[in-house]
Amino acid sequence: MRPSSKTAILDAALRVVDREGGADISYEAVASESGLTKAGVMYHFPTRDALMLAVVEHAALRWERALLEVLDVPFERAGARERIRAYATVAARPDVLSPADFFVYFEALYHPALAEPWKRVFSRWFAFDPQASADERARLTLARLAADGLWVATTTDVLAPEERDRQAVIDLLLRLTEEDSPC
């Protein structure tokens, strides 16, 4: 399988999700968007489940690439604070990821097998040092959960912060990831 064809199909599938506002992906729509035939898409992804799993893996890896781009240090040297700060930074930027990422993330609620790629990627980003205090673990978990909420609100435009408040919300969220945070 040529990686470029597979990537093109998966990018096309995410564009379909963006355009149609949900993760109900059909072979026909992906084929049309990618410029391939339905048979061409099915060659790479013989079942709809295989296509959906590949789309979720593709979206999770897009998140990881975005996270690595904003991480201040190499991943191997990053502690939980740096990793969760990178996560909060990416989650707060609607220009980095698209609503399609949210829709395929949400799809795991109905299809638990689709949660595995997300768990694989995010488990290493949200891991804590065993020596971390309960307070630090709670503060960083709160930052991650707040980032999740900001991502969902911004992506869905349901109760997103007003533009005049958005940066203050992001600043407070990022302060939660600082070592000496009073929060």
**What tokens were used for 169?**
């919300």
pLDDT tens digit sequence for 10-44: 999 999 999 987 767 899 999 999 999 999 999 99
Q: How many CB atoms lie within 10 A of CB 178?
A: 13
Q: Is the alpha carbon torsion for 146, 147, 150, 156 positive or negative?
A: negative
**Is residue 168 within a helix (H) or strand (E), and if so which, with residue range?**
helix 163-175
State the pLDDT at residue 96: 82
Above 70 in pLDDT, residue 2? no
- The chain-wide mean pLDDT, for the chain, equals 91
Please list, in sequence order, all residues whose beta carbon lies within 8 angstroms of the beta carbon of residue 124, skipping any fewer than 6 positions away.
Answer: none
Above 80 in pLDDT, residue 75? yes
Verdict on whether the full-model pTM lies above 0.85: yes
From first CA to last CA, the distance across the chain in angstroms is: 50
55 vs 59: CA distance, rounded Å? 6
